């Protein structure tokens, strides 16, 4: 997640790799949050931090997907 915020300078190939990495991280965070909630071992602060990180990844994923998906004027 140390990637520069400006995705306009990145190639499509780099964006696709980053997209795959971010999706995997998002999925892993989802699994971790679910496991912590089911076991009841995590404090609320930890869960909040994980959820915030997951939301940040979701925003990055949406931004990259928008960049990769061409605008089609119907």
Segment 30-59, tens digit of pLDDT: 999 999 999 887 789 999 999 999 999 999
User: What pLDDT shows up at residue 74?
Assistant: 59
- pTM listed for this prediction: 0.79
Phi/psi-derived region of residue 62, left when phi > 0, alpha when psi is between -120 and 50, beta in every other case? alpha
More confident residue, 20 or 2: 20
Burial of residue 57 (CB within 10 Å: 0-12, 13-18, 19+) is: buried
More confident residue, 3 or 24: 24
Q: Which of 11-15, 16-20, 61-65, 67-71 has the lowest mean pLDDT?
A: 67-71
φ, ψ (nearest 5 deg) of residue 49: -65, -40
């Amino acid at each position: 997640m140390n990637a520069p915020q400006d995705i306009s300078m990145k190639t499509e190939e780099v964006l696709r790799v980053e997209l795959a990495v971010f999706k995997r991280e998002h999925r892993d965070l989802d699994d971790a949050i679910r496991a912590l909630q089911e076991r009841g071992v995590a404090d609320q602060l930890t869960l909040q931090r994980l959820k915030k990180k997951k939301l940040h990844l979701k925003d990055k994923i949406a931004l990259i997907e928008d960049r990769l998906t061409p605008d089609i004027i119907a």
